[in-house]
Structure 1
Amino acid sequence: KQEYPELHDKVGKLAKKAGIPKPRLYISSMKVPNAFATGRNPDKGVVCVTQGLLDQLEKDEVKGVAAHELAHIKNRDTLINAVVATVAGAVAMLAELAFWSSLFAGEDEGEMVSALAFMIVTPIIATIIRMAVSRTMEFRADSEAVKITGNREGLSSALQKISSENKRSKPQKHVSKVQESGANLFIENPFSADKMTKYFSTHPPLEERLENIGSTEV
């Protein structure tokens, strides 16, 4: 708090406007501008911003990003994400169990093919649903941030700068599954790639987010 008194004060005031306790605040040494929030409820909230975000964004832009992360905490999005991921994983396991059960039960070829198709398709559908939930939460957090700050331009400008910097940075070729699974926590997916389709992305396209922000009443 002694190192970043202005940021702590800003987050505290925004949290009060959002109607939640001031979360713990951390600064990451990452040079790429980004931020994320976690915590299963507002009392356990944590917001982390990167040094790159503080260095490259203007005050109103940082304010918009902070409000977006506070909205995630207010909406308990970390908890929702965990529940959705757990359910999706359970569904995938049940599909695989059904396949192996039919295999060892000596089912005929037609039923085996159906079980195999079910095992392959079910996890894909579960993933699509999980990503759709994540994108919905991003839209909602963007809208909440505008209402908290009373300013559309700050968040819109911040998202454009963050997206531009992520595209400019060299692609990360060796991203682990653990790292990628946490991409939904960030305000902008730091591991996004051009080939990633909309339906398998944790975040909505930038253009759609800007349109959503523009249509949100201040």
Structure 2
Amino acid sequence: MNTLRTVLLMTVLTLLLVFAGGLVGGQNGALMALIMAGVMNLGSYWFSDKIVIAMYRGKPVESGPLYDVVAELCQRNNLPMPRVYILPQNTPNAFATGRNPRHAAVAATEGILRILTREELMGVMAHEMSHVGNRDILIGSIAATLAGAIAFLSHMARFAALFGGRGSRDDRNPLGLILVMIFAPLAAMLVQMAISRSREYAADQGGARLCGNPFYLANALRKLEMANQRFPMEKVNEATAHMFIVSPLGGSNLRALFSTHPPVEERIRRLESMTPY
């Protein structure tokens, strides 16, 4: 169900790009915007494991509770072992990154090791391993490329409105320019966030299968949400906030519609409605 929803949302983004490109510059305009956005996102996708880990000063570990939990999950489910990092942050949180299962990394903060039981930590890392297996970094990069292309077309529309189209179709369709300038980027952002929320639900479900018990993650999410609301992470790059298992931005969940994460209460409800594997 989550996979179907993601496909539908990606289709909406693609159609939105084609629509905006047609209004601004036709097929050539849409193609140019897509190429520009693709180039910008290719590097972040290919080197995502190195970039994000360095950003949060992650330290590699090859032993200890976190490493042992990840190793057990990989052995139990016949998965390639990712690189494992600990982040020097007191706020409990975790994320996964990497372009595919053989070039992946999982990371958890020092704070998460202090408040979670081994079973809860296993639930969290199973969630992150599910992100890797589902290739959510790739999906997120494609969504970001499409949304970025739409944003680029929005800037093109602004220039066309300011300086005139000299006989182009923009002169004949000022309403189209307004739609691209104002509503297209907003719609793209909302769809991109909806894709992120859908992938979180899928990772919750996949993580429950990997660790064998959905209550492990449900119990962990309660603790993580409470801790992150009280003590938000320091120096968080907003562009990476969607990668964490719970939102690291204090007070960021103004509305579910504008959040990259589903409501934790709903995630817990879904997990607790599942039957242990």
Whether TM-score is above 0.5 comes out as yes
Distance in 1 separating the partners of 2:85 and 2:243: 15
Contact 1:18 1:74 survives alignment (8 Å): no
**2:240 alignment partner in structure 1:** 182
Distance 1:53 1:99, change over 3 A: same
Distance in 1 separating the partners of 2:230 and 2:64: 31
TM-score, L = length of structure 2: 0.71
Residue from 71, 76, 79 that aligns with 2:130:
71
Letter in 2 for 1:168: R
% identical aligned pairs:
38
Contact 1:40 1:76 survives alignment (8 Å): yes
Residue from 233, 244, 249 that aligns with 1:191:
249
Contact 2:122 2:216 survives alignment (8 Å): yes
Residue from 2, 9, 18 that aligns with 2:68:
9
**2:156 alignment partner in structure 1:** 97
Match status 1:37 vs 2:96: yes
Residue from 92, 106, 109 that aligns with 1:47:
106
Query: Which aligned pairs between 1:51-200 and structure 2 lie closer than 5 A?
Result: 51-103=110-162, 104-105=164-165, 111-169=173-231, 179-193=237-251, 196-200=254-258
1:37 partner SS: strand
Distance in 2 separating the partners of 1:213 and 1:153: 7
1:54-107 CA distance string (max 9 Å, x none): 011111111100100000001111111111101110012123313423542257
Residue from 205, 208, 217 that aligns with 2:266:
208
Letter in 2 for 1:112: P
Distance in 2 separating the partners of 1:132 and 1:186: 16
1:92 partner SS: helix
Match status 1:26 vs 2:88: no
1:105-127 CA distance string (max 9 Å, x none): 25798843541232111111001
Distance in 2 separating the partners of 1:137 and 1:34: 17
Q: CA deviation at 1:212?
A: 1.6
Q: CA deviation at 1:207?
A: 1.2
2:70 partner SS: helix
Distance in 1 separating the partners of 2:208 and 2:250: 25
Distance in 2 separating the partners of 1:159 and 1:66: 12
Distance 1:170 1:77, change over 3 A: closer
Q: CA deviation at 1:12?
A: 1.2
Of stretches 36-45 and 109-118 in structure 1, the one that deviates more from structure 2 is: 109-118
Paired residues, what number? 214
Contact 1:99 1:112 survives alignment (8 Å): no
**Tell me, which stretches of 5 or more residues in structure 1 are unaligned?**
none
Q: CA deviation at 1:131?
A: 0.5
Distance in 1 separating the partners of 2:253 and 2:86: 31
Contact 1:18 1:70 survives alignment (8 Å): no
Could you say what the CA RMSD is over the residues aligned between the two structures, in angstroms?
2.3
Contact 2:232 2:248 survives alignment (8 Å): no
> Which runs of at least 4 in structure 1 moved beyond 6 Å after TM superposition?
107-110
Distance in 1 separating the partners of 2:77 and 2:136: 15
